[in-house]
Chains A and B, each alone.
Chain A
């Protein structure tokens, strides 16, 4: 563990001052980007000023079954909502109209920004590049700590949106020279059809796609989607059913199943765990989670333990102490995870990438910015160890599902 000492250092006064300046800058950046994800600020300046939606878009949904009495069963996500005529599913963006299930958000973008890929966060996927990041309204779970609840927990007619077809989105992405489209902010599974079609078309145009998701999706649509996307980040909210039920209105097991399917498919995957004081921060839970990751996904799947800030329906808990994130990192390293990060703590050494073999510092990050990247040909320049990840656009676009 000696080689990890620089990742868990005691900060000096100079370090603290350096952090202060950097955090101020990062804070300003975060404020700007989070504000721009608000529904009122749709895609301004991103060549996406399409027709403003009055009402909702309507397209036939994928992955549903007909039932009697004009009811339908949605088989896109594990909820399997049975939806009567004129009603909507839990996500609020799929509606039964006369026995046919429709998506109301195909191309109905309520947020669009060009973000650093590090903001997703994806640390082993073309670091230093940008992702053209989009979202529609809606989500298929309800996290009481959601940072984007102004769009994820509202229905499409309640937020300002513009209609953007997949080809127009790709044109805008090209104009911004982003190698990647990120489906993010709310929950891309609920705008599956649009993500699916856009990702397929984007590949034809040499653009990759990453899904930033809660992993609440069924196997068939997931496998279908992975024919087109080139990377995935999953929010693993916790490692107990209680947390998923009480704090997210969801279940843990379907998410774990998704992770195993992604492992089988072989797509690039990173995990984020938002650590919330008293709710999912026990060392035992972190240990069980990390051990599960190593056993079922392998040691090369990066884990990001990120800092909670009070928001939405959890405003009575404090921010996560940095020491808690550091403890999570130690536990995960001890469990055998090769790449473990601390998130939402700018300038912390836990945001940097170190070779898992020789501990050489490979990538240094300040907020979402890369100050250096020493990885060459996907390897550590010091010991030659192959560093897991997607390090070029060619590599991203060459991905094909293993199974």
Chain B
């Protein structure tokens, strides 16, 4: 191999690297998100039947809806192929639910576990988790700490304080101990928030859901939780592992969250799904704002609590926050 050809190859590599650097990270994620090379894709799947009765009565419907959303998201020919495009059969998958206030529905998580099984992920490699056993239990999840089947447990599970790493991790302005589940036990993450309002952050969606992965979320609620939410999800324990956002809108709340207020409950009856977690949150926040307007309430921004953390995440290249550049697909 001549020196000249080495030099040429080197220059070519440099050019390619420069082009890669010039490409916004959001675009890279958008490319990863699906076959549409121009936009991040967010799929909204709804069914009138979900607005009636309890979500647990619609387990089959939820599986069908979620599989359909995954197919649309990936343009895969069937559900199994769709799940396999996002997850590898060897992945250890953490499903981060949200059990504070209006909670993620166990029936939605059942549908996710069924989808992962289609990708070949064994149940024993799946952990459904949140902060506390007691909150999971209260939300209707069945705790499972055995070695058989999908596990379901809180970070604070075995004994008090045992579930967090001992060292402090710094990411941007936060300094926190992370849940051992997210730090050590899984290599793929699915965030399953609830479509709901938050009195400080504006919304509590997929990114904010990961406040449940750190030991001290109470320290990071100033300034509408911004830029702290982006700081948390940017961390190496989360961003590289985060494969999918599935926002649970079977029951939603458009005001006075995160605590449950029946007066502001909203039977949205659907799911919001994306591999671009910023885009998923941007679309979900937009849906909440639309509902607020319909109910005669101020938008989140006009109410003095804009969801700034979504815009910040977009600015930082964590995903696409600009609604005009998001391919919103309703199925």
Chain A residues packing against B (C-beta within 8 Å): 39, 53-55, 69-71, 82, 84-92, 96, 142, 144, 149, 153-155, 157-160, 249, 312-313
Q: B35: shortest Cβ distance to chain A, in Å?
A: 41
* Contact across chains for A91 and B134 when beta carbons are under 8 A apart: no
Contact A153 B256 (CB under 8 A): no
Residues of chain B whose beta carbon lies under 8 Å from any beta carbon of chain A = 100-101, 132, 134, 156, 160-161, 164, 168, 170, 175, 198-200, 215-216, 218-219, 221-222, 255-261
Interface of A is mostly: loop
Residue of B nearest to A139 (CB): B219
| CB–CB A92/B161 < 8 A | no
**B168 with A55: CB separation less than 8 A:** no
Q: Provide the bound-state CA to CA distance between A393 and B168, in Å.
A: 42
Subset of 7 A-B contacts with CB under 8 Å: A39-B161, A70-B259, A86-B100, A87-B258, A90-B218, A158-B160, A313-B170
- Bound state CA distance, A92 and B217, in angstroms? 8
Considering the chains assembled together, what is the distance between the CA atoms of A154 and B165 in angstroms?
12
CB distance from A400 to the nearest CB of B (A): 37
**Whole-angstrom distance from the CB of B40 to the nearest CB of chain A?**
30
Query: Is there an interface contact between A86 and B199, defined as CB atoms closer than 8 Å?
Result: no
Docked CA distance A312–B260 (Å): 37
CA distance A94 to B70 in the complex (A): 41
The smallest C-beta distance from A161 to any residue of chain B, in angstroms, reads 8
A residues less than 8 Å from B132 (CB atoms): 157
Q: A160-B160, A313-B170 are in contact. Are A85 and B259 (CB under 8 A)?
A: yes
Return chain B residues, CB-CB under 8 Å to A155: 215-216, 218
State the Cβ distance, B83 to closest chain A Cβ, in Å: 33
Contact assessment for A69 and B221 in the assembled complex, using a CB-CB cutoff below 8 Å: no
Q: How far is the CA of A144 from the CA of B175 in the complex (A)?
A: 9
Tell me whether A158 and B261 are in contact (CB under 8 A): no
- Whether the pair A159, B100 counts as a contact (CB closer than 8 A) is no
Nearest CB in chain B to that of A312: its residue? B168
CB distance from A145 to the nearest CB of B (A): 12
Question: CB distance B215 to A154 under 8 Å?
Answer: yes
How many A-B Cβ pairs are below 8 Å?
A: 80
Check A92/B216 contact, CB under 8 A, given A70-B261, A85-B101: yes
In angstroms, Cα B256 to Cα A70, docked, is 8
Is the CB–CB distance between A157 and B156 below 8 Å?
yes
Contact at B256–A313, with CB atoms within 8 Å? no
Q: Are B199 and A82 in contact, with the CB atoms below 8 A?
A: yes
From known contacts A154-B215, A158-B215, A313-B168, infer whether A84 and B161 are also in contact, taking CB-CB under 8 Å. Answer: no
> Nearest Cβ in chain B — how far from A269, in angstroms?
28
* Chain B min CB distance to A35 (Å): 15
In the complex the two chains form, is B218's CB within 8 Å of A153's CB?
no
Beta-carbon contact of B161 and A158 below 8 Å:
yes
Tell me the complex Cα distance, A150–B132, Å.
Answer: 20
C-alpha spacing A312/B166, complex, angstroms: 11
Q: Is the CB of A86 within 8 A of B259?
A: yes
Task: Output the nearest chain A residue to B218 by Cβ-Cβ distance.
Answer: A92
- Output the least CB separation between B305 and chain A (Å): 11
Closest Cβ neighbor of A92 among chain B residues: B218
Find chain A residues with CB under 8 A from B261 CB: 69-70, 85
Docked complex Cα distance between A158 and B101 (Å): 21
A40 to chain B: closest residue by CB: B161
Q: CB distance A71 to B199 under 8 Å?
A: yes
Q: Give the nearest-CB partner of A142 in chain B.
A: B219
Bound Cα distance from A117 to B187, whole angstroms: 50
Q: Which residues of A contact B168 (CB under 8 A)?
A: 149, 312-313
> In the complex, what residue of chain B is closest to A246 when comparing beta carbons?
B173
Which residues from B are CB-within-8-Å of A312?
A: 168, 175
Asked if B134 and A55 make an inter-chain contact with CB atoms under 8 angstroms apart, the answer reads yes
- Apart from A87-B221, A153-B216, A153-B219, what 8 extra A-B contacts exist at CB < 8 Å? A70-B259, A84-B259, A85-B101, A154-B161, A154-B215, A160-B160, A249-B219, A312-B175
Q: Would you list the 7 A-B pairs with minimal beta carbon distance, nearest first?
A: A85-B259, A84-B199, A92-B218, A69-B256, A158-B161, A86-B259, A313-B175
- CB contacts (< 8 Å) of B199 on chain A: these are 69, 71, 82, 84, 87
Give the CA-CA distance A26 to B80 in the complex, in Å. Answer: 66
Are the CB atoms of A158 and B256 closer together than 8 Å? no
Contacts A153-B216, A155-B218, A158-B215; A87 near B161 (Cβ below 8 A): no
CB neighbours of B255 from chain A (8 A): 69
Which residues from chain B contact A70 at a C-beta distance below 8 Å?
Answer: 256, 259, 261
Q: Distance in Å from the Cβ of B158 to the closest Cβ of chain A? A: 12
In Å, the complex CA distance between A102 and B221 comes to 19
> Which of A86, A87, A92 is close to B219, meaning CB atoms less than 8 Å apart?
A92
A87, A91, A313: most-surrounded residue (chain B CB, <10 A): A87
